[in-house]
Structure formats: C-alpha cells, structure tokens
Structure 1
C-alpha cells in the first residue's frame, strides 16, 4: 500500500513524504518530520526566518494554495486581473508585471467578510420576508372556506324564495362555486409551492455558505459566488378576487334569465407586493433543524396510571399529560413526577372516546353515547357540538384553532370528517374525487393534523392510515409495511405527528409504532418493549408518549436525534 495515497494513513512530512509529521513551519505553512527540519531551515537561511513549532501547536492560519506552475511553491499573492494565485516565482517571471497584485490573505479576509455579510442579510432580512409570505398565503387560504361558505349560503337562501322548478339552477350555481373554490385554492397552492421551493433554496445557500466559511479552503472560498441577488427578486404578490353572487328579482316566467349569476374568478400578480422593510429591525431567525431518526429508540421514563384499561394520552404542557381509559373520568398526570394532579368526570357520566387539548390549554373530549363534543374550561364542562344521527369518535385541535371530528352515522352506513370553528360546521370530508367513501364504516377512528396541514386518520376498519390535504383531497393511504415485527394485519389505533411532518401510528396487535413521512413512505418501527399500544401524542421536543392498554402505563420515548 502506498503510504502517500492510503486513505487510512497518518499525515506525512511534506519534504520526504515518508516520515510521520512531528513539526510544523508557521512561516512556510508546511509539515515536517524532525529529520527534515534542518534541511528546511537551511534551504533559504538568508532570506527567511523559519518559525518551527510542534505540529499540535501550529497556528490556525489557513494554508496557502500550492502553485500550479511551480511545484511545491505556495502562493501568497493574487493577480486581480488574471484571477489566479501567484507564488514568488510567478511574480519574478514578469508575466504579471503590469497587473494589480494583492496579498492573498487580504483578499481572503475581504471575501470572508462579504459572505458573512450576505449570510447575515439573508438570515435577518430576506428569510423572514419569505416566512411572512408563507404566513400571508396560508392565512388567505384558510379564509377561503368562510368566503365560499358564505357565498353558498347567499345562493341557497335566495334559491329558497323560488319555486321548486329552479332547484336545478341553484345546484348548478353551487357546483360552479365549488369549481371556482377548487381553482382558487389550487392557485394559492401553486403559489405557495413556488415560495416554499425558494425558501428551500435559501436554506441550501445558507448551509453552503457556512460550509465554505468553515472549510478554511481559500481556493473554494475565492471561487464561491453567492445567489443573494437572485433571492432579492421576491415573488409577485398574488391577488385573487373571490366571486360574488348578484341576486335578481323577477317574475316567475322570467326566472331562467333573471335568477342571478356569479362573477368570474379573477386574480392578479403584483410584482412589488413583497419588499424588504427598510426601517424595521430584523428579528433573529432560527432555521428549523432537520432531525434524523435514531437507529434505536430509547425509553426516557414510564408513568403508571390508575386505570383498569388505558386508551388515550394528549399533551397539556411540557410537564403534564391528560389521559383517558375505560372509565368516565379523565386524569391529568405530572410527566416528571408521575403523580396524579387532577381528575375530571364527564358531564354525562359516559366513557369518553377521544381527547385533545386546544391551543388555549382546554381539554376537549368526545362522548359517543351522548353524541356530543365537550370542552372543559375552569373546571366547568360545556357542550360545544351536539350531533343528530351521527356519533363522534376521534377529535383533534388544529393549528388554526378549529376542531376536526371523525364520526360514523347511527346506521353505520357512512363515515366522515367534519371541521368545526366553535360549534359552526366549516368543512365536510367524506368522499374521494370518484365519489367513493374515504373512510370505513367501523367505529374506531382517530385523527391528527400534520404540520403541512394534511388531515391524517387512523382507520382501524380499513386497516389503513388515510391522509387528505387541507382541502379534503385524498393524498395517500398507508396500509402497513412488510416485513412487519409480527405476521398480523396492520391494525392502526392512535395517531400523531411531529415537527418533521412525520406521521406516527400505533399498531396494536404488533406491539409497535409505525413512522411514515408526509408522502406515505415507511421510515421505521418503534418497539421499545411496548405492549398493546393505543393512544399517542408528541411534545414540542418530539418526545413520543404511548398509552399501553393492559399494563396501564404511558411510556415517554425518544426516537429523533
């Protein structure tokens, strides 16, 4: 094996290229063995004073690049006209006599400051604006449900004043509204995707800049050209005008042409809709850290509960979790102490089917026997949703403050997900684009909202996790992974998501948790000696809490780095 080319070999002397490095010349920035120190210092004794130190005590000055024209010579100067490093032999040759020559370390320092300045501007000025753009577009997308819902209500009310013969016209107009709403949403979705792509490019550019700054490689640093000018060209601000309905009063015989009409869906793109705010102080931006899965998940702690059967867990704070079991009482436990802090009995004395916590810290539970969804505030229970002919099952609180409730019909012939703002129904998700049911007719279903606003349902009857986007369009179905820990069907129960938009669901019969990404790709199993896992939740640090049915324990697990 050639010691000079072996990737496993130690550093060798730059002169003899065989002996192990022991010393270093801080003047010439070369590595030496003890035997070559004398030869090096005598090579040009009169012209240079060599500072020889032990290799481990060498200065942190970056190494000069080697000259490509004169072997073994290092370049301490730089030709600004030719854009090449120069050694003393290059300068003595006279080929750069009329050119502007600079010290290479001076250029190195100037280039480093330039990149640092661009990084600071992107982090504190440009990146925040892109985040604001995303927030602005998402907020306007959220308003679409209300705008189009109000529009449909106006049309319906006006239609009720007319004879049954115009019902078909009403339905056609409402269908046109739905089509416009879908197109309206798609316009924003496409716009948002373009902005998110640009944000990803900015993150990559910042990481590349940091990497080049940390590399201490002069050649790479001098050749680095940032893309800051490209990122300063902000996207056009998209403006889409929602249609409106103009009712018309007319005689019955004229209703066909005078009932009313919808304005067309229109939008515009404003080039200077987003700008850098000159006079504001830019906040310090922390780029979300990408976390990797641990090779083996770890058990952090175990909390013993007092249930006969434990089914659910949801996070109240970094120190407290709510739990539910096969009793009519929900219990709050300390995570660090494992002690019982509070108990709340259901309003109807029935057993709750699912629990969640709102952004305001209020406990919410579903009561399938009472057909209600209830919130606990200041020790009092208020029924916020009362259903007829439908039975509520899983519930979750969304990032916008809405409640998502998955439910079955009394006759067990239908299942759907409904979004509520308070007690007002905002959205119903029941069928795919071909009119087929999205969810099974079985009772057990649990629900969670992902960070990308996807709606994720663990559907036991379908042996699948069903994921739709914010508008209710089917994205994918996850039906398990092969090989699985045990040769049984996939039986998902509890479901939750984390900061990385991973979807986690318990597999009750296989004593494990499946982790899939936001596209439905399987990533890993978590077992950690779980026994009949059911409910799930995560905290802000991506710790996972798993409720185990028969041993009545909540396990706190670490699965991300």
Structure 2
C-alpha cells in the first residue's frame, strides 16, 4: 500500500512528502519535518516564520499585512480609527495620540466575545429552540389525543342517543302492540256473540219453515213468533274502536345539537411573549429547590378583608394583589388585598351555587358547579363550560404545576368519590382505589378539597374520614394524616380547605379546633396556626408564602405571615 495515499498513514511533511511531520509554520500554515525547517524559512525571507511543534500549531496569530506599507505586518490595533496598524503606521503622525492595543489583546477579546456568543447559542438559544420544538410536538400530541378523545366521546354520545331512541321506539311499538291486542280482543268477543245470535236466528228460521211445511193447522194457530222476533230486533251496541295514530315530532337541527351536545369554541392565538429564554437555573415550577424559609415563632396577622358573605367558604389568590372568594350562594367576588375593596362580582352561568374555585397561571378563574355537573372558566368577561360530566358531579378543583386540572368527583347514586386529572380539558387519569381495591376517599356527600404539592403528590382533605389523604403522582397511597398529635389534646380533626407552600408543607384548615395544621411532605406534624381564627374553611397561599384563610361565620379573609 502506498503510504502517501493511505488514509491510515501518519501525516507527512508538505515539502519532502516522506518524513513524518514534527514541526509547523503558523505563518504559512505548512507542516514540516525537522530537516525541512531551514529550507522553508529561507524560501521566503519577507515573512517572519513562526515555527512551532506540530502539537502547538495555530497558536501563533496570523498577522495581516499592512494596507499602507508593503511587506509590513500589523501587530497593533488603533482603537480610535478601528483599524489594524503596523510599526511604521504607529511611528507616523497619522495615529499620534490615539489609543493603541496589541493585536494579540484584541484577538483574545474578540475570541472571548465570539466564544461567549457561541456559548450563548450552544447553551441557551439552541436549547430554548429545542424546548420550543418539544413544546410544539407535545401540543401536537395533545391535539391528536384530545381529538381522539373528543371523537370517542362524540361516538359514545351518539351510541347513548341511539340507545335512547331505540328504547323509545321499542316502548312506542309495545304500546301499539298492547293497544292492538286489547281492541282486537274486545271486537273478537263481540263478533263471537253476534255469530251465536246469527246461529240462533237461523235455527228459528229453520224451525218456522218446518212448521209452515207441515200444514198442521193446530200448530200454526198455536205458534206466537212476536216475542221471538222482537228479541232479535233489539240490536246490540255498535263498538267503534279508536284507531291509533302516530304524530311525528318535528326534528329541528338546533334542538338536536342541544340534545346531543356541542363542541366548545376552539381557536389558536399567538402569544408574543409566550416563550422565555432558557436559563441555567430551573424555575420553581420545574422542580428546583426554592430558598429555604424558616417558620416564624409566632405567626402574624397582616390584614383582614371583609367580603360581605354571611357564610364564606373559599378563597383563591390571583397573583399577589387580588383574591377571589365564594360563599354558599352563586356569586364570586374579586377583592384587592391591599385596599380590601371589591373589584368585581360574577354570578355562575347556571345560577346554581358553586362549590369550589381556583385560579389558572394566566389569572383566569375556574369554578365547579356540582348541580350542573360542570367545570367552568371565567375568561374575557365571559363564562365558558370546559368540562361536562354525566353521572359524576365535580366538587373541589385545583391547578397543577403542569397546568392540569385535578377535580374531586362524587357520584350521588353510587356514593363514590374519585379524583380525575384533566389535561387540556380531556380526562387523563382517575384515582379512586388503593392497591387492595379499597376506596381511597370516604363515601357520602361531605366536604373534600384538593391540592398538589411541589413534589407532585396529590393531597385531599377528607372531612368525613377526618384525614388528609396523600397519594403520589401515579395515584399510589403515600400516607394519611389524621391530626392526632401525641401529648396534645385537641378536638376531633375536621379538615376543610387544603393548600401547599414553597417548602412543600401541607396546610389544612380545621374548623373544629379553629386552627390550621401544618405538616411536612411526609405527613409529619410541624405546627398549628391559629391567630384567632373563626371557623377556618378555604385556604390559599401567594407567591411570597402569605397564607389567606376564609373564615366561615364572620365572612372575613385573614392574611397571615408564618414563614420568615
């Protein structure tokens, strides 16, 4: 094999083309063996040849030639004129008093800037676009899954409607059949009676004919047919059957759509600042560890907000400046936290009282209407139904870190409870039983509230069970907290509202002992918060870990600081 053409051979000298490369001219970018170094340097004496070992090639800068002075190399840079200059240029009056820099310094600075830009492209911009591509791909997958689920739901609704129509058709046909049997039976009985009478009349006719043919004057004078004839002259009643009729109902397209169901409006929007550049640190929502905050020795009441409700149930933070509230009626009120003033009041779409409310990451209000079997969103001054169920009524709701909806559902007939996760308003997960097939949550119509912890655990306050039931993201049981603390006598645990903070504490209101229980993410008791609470119900926490407590009887929301 020819060593000069073999790809497996070592690098050869560019001059002799036989010896192994040992040196390199950074000026001319030529590979050399030691024997050819002298020949190369004398071949062009106009250049300053920078000879280095081959492993250090390209370490010497390639000085450019001067545009004004032939055969001169520019080793300086004029900052004021923004040009490269040679030694002769520097000695002239043209750059007198100008700030000059060594070209190597400029080279290093430019390299650093280029490397920084390259680093930004490599570690920030490119990963950001990869995240955007991944996000778009996820949305494509969600749309495909959502449309498949929608098609399945529509098909199922069509089957339900077909079954109902077939059931109605069968019932009507059964009614027609029963009517036919009843009327035919009546007419057949009447026909049988007439048939018997006809037979009797024919017998009378035959008997009379026999008498007439006998010419027996004695018998003819003795016969009296008046009574017999009169009997048959009293004709029977005429039975007129009521013939059944079918009047088809008018089938209107609009009524069919209302009966069958309609698709909620769907549209695409362009959000100018929807994406943000990736940073080297993950956001808290992405699971990074937040700053550690210690508990205050004594929680402090910051302010009280009067809501005007006779019976206040729920509170939800809308950023750090506003809170949504609801009570035992059908209104939702938005308050300013700092001023305590009412900003807005909204009535439910159905007019029914709502059960629970939550706020999305975009600041939109979500509420549950268990009497209407719907979950609704208040958006752009309008109310849109986003989830509609058949047999299960939605009660408590929360927004997860991944923007899913977690909804506690209850079936009145079957007296069963479950947690359903909706992604893009499509059912994604159902949590109802433990590994032994036993219900995770109590039965019966009782208060239950739900939240998600930073470790993605799903936490439910189960009032009837007197427990906080915590499962992991997959729905597997982690622990039950029953509020029983050794060495401390308290009233029976009656959990109501539930929320979590930046430290993964789980906080739940206890309207029996008039306090808020704080437990850690593994179910261990941490402390109580009371601050003179009056029947605490709903809870929420803002981004600064201020706790807001909805108080049932006095209709006030109390803002509490409990973390440093």
* 1:437 paired residue number: 439
CA distance in 1, matches of 2:504, 2:135: 17
Q: 1:345 to 1:486 in 2, by over 3 A?
A: farther
Residue 413 of structure 1 deviates from its aligned partner by 2.4
- Find out whether 1:467 has 2:470 as its counterpart: yes
Secondary structure at 1:546 match in 2? strand
Residue 422 of structure 1 deviates from its aligned partner by 3.3
Render the CA deviation track for 1:126-149: whole Å, top value 9, x for unaligned. 9xxxxxx99999999999999999
- Find out whether 1:364 has 2:333 as its counterpart: no
CA distance in 1, matches of 2:339, 2:462: 34
- Find out whether 1:457 has 2:464 as its counterpart: no
Checking the alignment, whether the CA contact within 8 Å between 2:405 and 2:425 is kept in structure 1 is no
Residue 504 of structure 1 deviates from its aligned partner by 0.3
* 1:351 paired residue number: 353
Larger mean CA deviation between 531-540 and 382-391 belongs to 382-391
Root-mean-square deviation over aligned CA pairs: 3.8
Residue 389 of structure 1 deviates from its aligned partner by 1.0
Residue 423 of structure 1 deviates from its aligned partner by 2.9
* 1:496 paired residue number: 499
Render the CA deviation track for 1:26-72: whole Å, top value 9, x for unaligned. xxxxxxxxxxxxxxxxxxxxxxxxxxxxxxxxxxxxxxxxxxxxxxx
CA distance in 2, matches of 1:517, 1:141: 33
* 1:403 paired residue number: 405
Residue 484 of structure 1 deviates from its aligned partner by 8.3
Checking the alignment, whether the CA contact within 8 Å between 1:149 and 1:426 is kept in structure 2 is no
CA distance in 2, matches of 1:282, 1:471: 29
Checking the alignment, whether the CA contact within 8 Å between 2:301 and 2:560 is kept in structure 1 is yes
Checking the alignment, whether the CA contact within 8 Å between 2:146 and 2:426 is kept in structure 1 is no
* 1:550 paired residue number: 553
Checking the alignment, whether the CA contact within 8 Å between 1:442 and 1:460 is kept in structure 2 is no
* 1:425 paired residue number: 427
* 2:522 paired residue number: 519
Checking the alignment, whether the CA contact within 8 Å between 1:414 and 1:441 is kept in structure 2 is yes
CA distance in 1, matches of 2:295, 2:415: 40
Q: 1:139 to 1:404 in 2, by over 3 A?
A: farther
Give the unaligned 5+ runs of structure 1.
1-124, 127-132, 156-279
| Correspondence for 2:416 among 414, 417, 421 | 414
Render the CA deviation track for 1:279-299: whole Å, top value 9, x for unaligned. x99757899311111111110
- Find out whether 1:477 has 2:480 as its counterpart: yes
* 1:22 paired residue number: none
CA distance in 2, matches of 1:317, 1:428: 30
Residue 487 of structure 1 deviates from its aligned partner by 3.3
* 2:326 paired residue number: 324
Q: 1:514 to 1:281 in 2, by over 3 A?
A: closer
Aligned pairs for 1:28-47 within 5 A: none
CA distance in 2, matches of 1:333, 1:424: 31
CA distance in 2, matches of 1:407, 1:452: 23
- Find out whether 1:509 has 2:504 as its counterpart: no
Render the CA deviation track for 1:399-448: whole Å, top value 9, x for unaligned. 11111100111214211000112331111011111111111113311000
Render the CA deviation track for 1:452-511: whole Å, top value 9, x for unaligned. 111111111111111111111111111113258763211000000011111000011100
CA distance in 1, matches of 2:137, 2:516: 36
Larger mean CA deviation between 139-148 and 445-454 belongs to 139-148
Structure 2-normalised TM-score? 0.50
The structure with more radius of gyration: 2
Render the CA deviation track for 1:503-537: whole Å, top value 9, x for unaligned. 00001110000001111111000010101000000
CA distance in 2, matches of 1:146, 1:430: 27
Secondary structure at 1:509 match in 2? coil
Aligned length: 314
* 1:109 paired residue number: none
Secondary structure at 1:351 match in 2? coil
| Correspondence for 2:392 among 387, 390, 393 | 390
Q: 1:493 to 1:143 in 2, by over 3 A?
A: farther
Q: Return structure 1 stretches of 4+ with deviation > 4 angstroms.
A: 133-155, 280-287, 483-486
Q: 1:135 to 1:491 in 2, by over 3 A?
A: farther
CA distance in 2, matches of 1:437, 1:325: 29
Secondary structure at 1:462 match in 2? coil
Aligned pairs for 1:242-391 within 5 A: 283=280, 288-391=290-393
Checking the alignment, whether the CA contact within 8 Å between 1:486 and 1:510 is kept in structure 2 is no
Residue 371 of structure 1 deviates from its aligned partner by 1.1
CA distance in 1, matches of 2:487, 2:132: 40
CA distance in 1, matches of 2:136, 2:509: 32
CA distance in 1, matches of 2:475, 2:456: 10
* 1:234 paired residue number: none
Q: 1:141 to 1:466 in 2, by over 3 A?
A: farther
CA distance in 1, matches of 2:292, 2:146: 38
Structure 1-normalised TM-score? 0.51
